[in-house]
Amino acid sequence: MAVSQYRSKRKVSGGVYIRLRKKRKFELGRVFRETKVGETKKKTLRGKGGAVKTTLLRCNVANIFDGKKYKKAKITSVIENKANRHFVRRNILTKGAVVETELGKAKVVSRPGQEGTINAVLVEK
């Protein structure tokens, strides 16, 4: 079934809204892409107007900012993820996840499923 970003049929009180129109194609969403730690694998998706979006399916390299410059480092595992506590044991990367890298602990600041890269800021060495 398609994921819709259209307004719900029901009001907060439980009543039903009167339909103004049908759902539209531009209101469709996508299922959450679980970016996991592993050998890099990307997928490109076509958006509205021919726009191209790259989603990461797996990645084990991050661009880490240490306060002065960016360095590439290998990701070993996910330590903490505030989006969902079960993402830690499944090694799923999302924005805000704290990962263990060669340079130390780093917090992911990009959206891997939306942007196609992993950018992170060094938390501790």
What residue spans define the domains of the chain?
33-124
User: What backbone phi and psi angles, to 5 degrees, belong to 58?
Assistant: -145, 150
pLDDT reported for residue 39 = 95
Phi-psi region of 28 (alpha: psi -120 to 50; beta: other; left: phi over 0): beta
Amino acid at 63: N
Asked if pLDDT for residue 1 goes beyond 80, the answer is no
- Indicate the Cα dihedral angle 124, 34, 60, 106, nearest 10°: -10
| pTM, full prediction | 0.82
CATH class of 33-124: alpha beta
Reply yes or no on whether the pLDDT at 124 is more than 90.
Answer: no
pLDDT in tens, 26-47: 888 888 889 999 999 999 999 8
